Structure 1
Amino acid sequence: MIRVLYFSTAKTVVTASEVNQIAAASSVENEKRSITGALAFNGSTFAQVLEGDEAVVDPLMNAIMADPRHTGVREVMRKEIDHREFDGWGMKLVGGLEFDLLLDSMAK
């Protein structure tokens, strides 16, 4: 199992409502794939952690990179894990400035 952290920049103005919709839709889809994680957005930058089997996370990362709502997707950390930090969360939406929560998950 792996944990991946990426950052990207929104192409347009993204409202809190839109971020909530993204997180809700991602949660449903991720649960179908046994992917867990967390998403943060500070008004211009997205940060997201994904956890799951590499064979499932990698195709999702490819789809994320192709998503036209953001640009400059940069995978900044990838590591093998033996337990999930966000177990039970298809996609947990964290406060926009809580990037530290995502970064801390990579240190574990």
Structure 2
Amino acid sequence: MRFRQVHLDFHTSEHINGIGRNFSKEQFQDMLKLGHVNSITIFSKCHHGWAYHPSEANEIHPGLTFDLLGAIIEAAHEIGVKTYAFIRGVRRTRDGRER
């Protein structure tokens, strides 16, 4: 892992709409540069059980209309920032409500 690593904590309830609606690749890159970030951990699937990218294995967040994970990875890689995808592998908060 590189020296300055950020864990982008991103757990978003299904009750929130417009996820990533205002995402700006340029602004995101500027913030990574400003923070001298070398690597970043990004959520593929959060503890609510939602995916932040198209997936056959997991349901995409109902308030998301594009591949947010892919957009973040592309933005980071363009400026030389390494990325790691985080997948919540155990129980989801949705499990209790769905049973």
Name whichever structure is richer in helix by fraction: 1
Name whichever structure is richer in strand by fraction: 1
Higher RCO structure (Cα 8 Å, ≥6 apart) = 1
